[in-house]
Structure 1
Amino acid sequence: MSRETYEFTSESVSEGHPDKVSDRISDEIVDLYFRESIADGMSPWDVRVAAETLTTTNKVVIAGETRGTDRITHDMIEEVARAAIKDIGYEQEGFHWKHADVDVLLHAQSVDIAQGVDSGTGLHSEEGAGDQGIMFGYATLDVPGHLMPAPVHYSHKILERLAKARKHEGETWLGPDSKSQVTVRYHHGRPVEATAIVLSTQHLDASLDSADIAERVKPYIHEVLPAGWITDNTIWHINPTGKFVIGGPDGDAGLTGRKIIVDTYGGMAPHGGGAFSGKDPTKVDRSAAYATRYLAKNLVAAGVAPWVEIQVSYAIGIAAPTSIYVNVDDHNPIKGDKIETIIRSVMDLTPRGIRKHLDLNKPIYAPSAAYGHFGRDPGANGEFSWEKTDLVDEIKSRLQ
């Protein structure tokens, strides 16, 4: 944006939000298929999962298509679903990990889809994209190290902090379901303060009112926001409707893939429309979005631009992207066409190339189901590999 001063708002939802419960279950199923298929000697390149989850009052419905070891049963899938619900923290009358009814309706992957994705089948010999579509990646200097837009980053951090307090620090009055929203004022393109903070959190003590909850949660919010961002002028709305005891899938039905803006850049960058959770990495909705984030982050970390936006597009069954587009500020000394050339030289953006480069054929997806897929720390087991900045030196060398 070219304005000298402006405000921008993003939101987040917690792991106990009904849509996020659904995302978590779907990603646990992806991990299950990778984990058990690899253990049985099946090539991880051949694993396929597209799992969608519906959650509502004491009911979980899992549908979609899979390919993996035959040893995986409906009972095993039900077990990982219940374990996820338990880990999130639902032991409530309207939604309980032990008592909820779980229906598993997964079936084998369509052979018509498989022929376009598997190498050596269909009209093309090379492994193709699992679907058509457009994907975007973005990075910005807003938050050093994480290179994420500040509004969505700190919206996530508020809820992560409350979840830690609930699970590990004795704040048992907090429920798993919550939503946050942060409005950030920008001056000359840099985030400088939080002008408004909104938080709605489920509470298990029905006697608490909004003022009680505000008093208890504000210290955690102060802890995670940068020093000086909260001022006397910051507007607060804590549980603005009052009581929030009934929450999670008992309060509102949840579906996989319904929080795509929360999962990415909080609206600061475009979104192609495809969800991530429940999909194996042959689905470019997921893997190409990870790849473009990886490239954008490395470009910003290399000093190419203060922010970078990348779009790629694919056709189902075709390996090479149909287009690559880079957007930077009009005044940036290194232009988008030059950056596009660099991108093509540092990474193979075919579905197979992405999976190989980022090592995506692993059970690494459940941790990404809440608090954003981007701006996270790479894990020891390969989680969030797309957040590494290991291309910086190569990018710098190609600028010379």
Structure 2
Amino acid sequence: MRTNYVFTSESVSEGHPDKVADQISDAIVDLFLSKDPEARIACETLTTTQRVVLAGEIRCKGVYENGQWAPGALEEIEKTVREVVREIGYEQDGFHWETFEFSNCLHGQSAHIAQGVDASGNKDEGAGDQGIMFGFACDETPDLMPATLDYSHKILQRMSADRHSGAAPFLEPDAKSQVTLRFKAGRPVAATAVVVSTQHKEGWDSGEKEAELKKYVKQVVADILPQELLSEETVYHINPTGSFVIGGPDGDAGLTGRKIIVDTYGGASPHGGGAFSGKDPTKVDRSAAYVTRYLAKNVVAAGLARRCTIQVSYAIGISCPLSLYVDTHGTGTVSDHVLEAAIVSVAAEKLGGLTPRGIRVGLGLNKPIYRPTAAYGHFGRKPEGELFPWERTDLGEALQAAVAQENGKLEPAE
């Protein structure tokens, strides 16, 4: 593992067109799961100038059964979509929550997919698709996330909070951030560059107002990044293209699932390629990525490694994972193959295994908990009540005990 390097991650705000799409898709997931915990949802969203389009495959008791919509279901879906856009804050000529054109192209789930996923007879619930999923954790921040991504998220979260509260009335919903850090001996030692592009109201791109906006952004950065990382050598690029009045879906089309690196680890870890938003928890793209984060975070929180990457793989319709891989990047206190065995043991004990059913039951994923995940990252968040259960660090003792047991098996006989 390299220890001296420069690394960058980016984030985008809740008003970015792709994130608008993600939040709409996850609001639909929450709506259906609130009606039927066993609902099957694969909802994609397109956003563009004054238009939102839903497409995908669904099955939900009381909403869509046997090819028919329940009375009032279509109206409730449209109301949910418009409410998401209203809460984000879009009331612009090019994208307004009350007046955009809405199209619902959702339809029933394929029977051929359903037969592979559903439990029947002696067959357990199978994975909703084939694929590979990764979980990651590191000790660069208290949230056990890559520092470059953690700071990028928090800059935009602060700006969003200020916009909604009225503390920064010149801001509009669309924004992007990017943080570049220099690492020495594997630790961040300096912020070399910070980029923030934020949509703003008319007139805030020149003169005193532009200066005030840039001063505000620099103060947000100073509040978020540790003071020792910032210096006179830190380079700032704030709205480097100039005016940013036209933004959101009016400035660029948005699609569900286009910000998968923002959603996960900012490029610090591999990614299996599958998006999360718009998918119910039988889709292992989502649920297995959550459980591998849960396990990796607990490995680091337990002091068993400073960095941990976990990969699992699945085949559609098959319940058990095809593989489990652990890499602690040379930072582990025990060998990686010992950790692999310990993780399998703990997952079986605490979750009922790494099957789709074990994951979603063990983590409590069959609930309407997904809208909050769709902006500012699915990981590095605070577990509160039923939200973000994969961010808990409650497996430490079990992992340490399992590691000790596995190490005992390796001891030579007397």
1:203-218 equivalences under 5 Å are 203-209=200-206, 210-218=210-218
Match of 1:32 in 2: 31
Answering whether residue 162 of structure 2 is matched by residue 170 of structure 1, we say: no
SS in structure 2 opposite 1:334? coil
CA offsets 1:284-337 (integer angstroms, 9 cap, x no match): 000000000000000000111100000000000000000000011236341111
How far apart are 1:229 and its partner, in Å? Answer: 1.4
How far apart are 1:390 and its partner, in Å? Answer: 0.8
Q: Distance in 2 between matches of 1:10 and 1:23?
A: 20
CA offsets 1:126-147 (integer angstroms, 9 cap, x no match): 1100000000000000002x10
Match of 1:387 in 2: 391
Match of 1:41 in 2: none
Q: Distance in 1 between matches of 2:309 and 2:106?
A: 36
Answering whether residue 370 of structure 2 is matched by residue 365 of structure 1, we say: yes
Match of 2:44 in 1: 52
Answering whether residue 254 of structure 2 is matched by residue 254 of structure 1, we say: yes
CA offsets 1:250-304 (integer angstroms, 9 cap, x no match): 0000000000000000000000000000000000000000000000000000111
Q: Distance in 2 between matches of 1:79 and 1:169?
A: 26
Match of 2:59 in 1: 67
Would you say the 8 A contact 2:42–2:57 is kept in 1?
yes
1:4-153 equivalences under 5 Å are 5-37=4-36, 44=37, 46-71=38-63, 73-120=73-120, 125-144=123-142, 146-153=143-150
SS in structure 2 opposite 1:228? helix
Q: Distance in 2 between matches of 1:278 and 1:233?
A: 42
Q: Distance in 2 between matches of 1:181 and 1:174?
A: 18
Question: Percent of aligned pairs with the same residue?
Answer: 57
SS in structure 1 opposite 2:316? coil
Answering whether residue 186 of structure 2 is matched by residue 189 of structure 1, we say: yes
How far apart are 1:170 and its partner, in Å? Answer: 3.0
1:184-333 equivalences under 5 Å are 184-209=181-206, 210-330=210-330, 332-333=332-333
Q: Distance in 1 between matches of 2:333 and 2:85?
A: 50
Q: Distance in 1 between matches of 2:193 and 2:378?
A: 24
SS in structure 1 opposite 2:191? strand
**How many residues get paired?**
388
Amino acid across the alignment from 1:58: Q
CA offsets 1:200-250 (integer angstroms, 9 cap, x no match): 000013343354421122111111111221111001000000000000000
Match of 1:376 in 2: 381
Q: Distance in 1 between matches of 2:344 and 2:167?
A: 50
Match of 2:403 in 1: 399
- Aligned mate of 1:356, from 361, 372, 387: 361
In the superposition, relative to structure 1, how do residues 345 and 311 fare at CA in structure 2: closer, same or farther (>3 Å)?
Answer: same
Amino acid across the alignment from 1:180: S
SS in structure 1 opposite 2:228? coil
SS in structure 1 opposite 2:176? strand
TM-score, normalised on structure 1? 0.95
How far apart are 1:185 and its partner, in Å? Answer: 1.0
Q: Distance in 2 between matches of 1:208 and 1:2?
A: 41
Amino acid across the alignment from 2:11: S
Would you say the 8 A contact 2:261–2:267 is kept in 1?
yes
Answering whether residue 156 of structure 2 is matched by residue 159 of structure 1, we say: yes
Q: Distance in 2 between matches of 1:126 and 1:282?
A: 12
Amino acid across the alignment from 2:272: G
SS in structure 2 opposite 1:249? helix
CA offsets 1:172-213 (integer angstroms, 9 cap, x no match): 210100000000111101112211000000001334335442
Instruction: Tell me which moved more, 324-333 or 22-31.
Output: 324-333
SS in structure 1 opposite 2:229? coil
Amino acid across the alignment from 2:156: L
How far apart are 1:36 and its partner, in Å? Answer: 2.2
RMSD value, Cα: 1.2
TM-score, normalised on structure 2? 0.92
Would you say the 8 A contact 2:35–2:62 is kept in 1?
no
How far apart are 1:69 and its partner, in Å? Answer: 2.4
Give the gaps of 5 or more residues in structure 1: 38-43
Q: Distance in 1 between matches of 2:224 and 2:151?
A: 7
Q: Distance in 2 between matches of 1:127 and 1:157?
A: 38
Q: Distance in 2 between matches of 1:154 and 1:330?
A: 25
SS in structure 1 opposite 2:279? coil
SS in structure 2 opposite 1:231? coil
Match of 1:40 in 2: none
